């Protein structure tokens, strides 16, 4: 199984602790170093997730006490914006 690097950008008007889950491969697994404390407009450090041979993966993110999104398609180098 391949690995790719992504990041999360807090594009909201609040600071959040954000949990990120890798949905590709053996079930739903929280990624290493999660949760990430992200201030407004802050970007997480690179996050390694599993990917298919074509370099695509899928994540879920969840802010403690707030926003969440699931089944987010990602590719290597993608920055996912929290909105």
- The CATH number of residue 52's host domain is 2.60.40
Residue 25 pLDDT > 90, yes or no?
no
Residue 1 pLDDT > 90, yes or no?
no
Mean pLDDT of all residues in 20-42: 95
Enter the pTM of the model.
0.93
Mean pLDDT of all residues in 50-60: 95
CA–CA distance, 3 with 1 (Å, rounded to integer): 7
Q: How far is CA 67 from CA 3, 6, 23, 25, 51, in A?
A: 26, 19, 18, 24, 25
Domain holding 28, by residue range, is: 2-82
Count up the domains in the chain and report the number: 1
CB 53 within 8 Å of CB 61:
no
Pairing state between β 68-75 and 2-10: unpaired
């Amino acid at each position: 199984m391949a690995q790719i690097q992504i990041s999360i950008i807090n594009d909201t008007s609040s600071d959040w602790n954000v949990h990120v889950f890798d949905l590709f491969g053996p079930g739903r697994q929280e990624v290493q170093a999660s949760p990430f404390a992200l201030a407004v407009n802050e970007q997480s450090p690179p996050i390694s997730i599993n990917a298919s041979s074509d370099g695509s993966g899928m994540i879920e993110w969840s802010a403690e006490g707030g926003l969440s999104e699931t089944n987010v398609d990602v590719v290597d180098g993608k920055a996912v914006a929290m909105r």
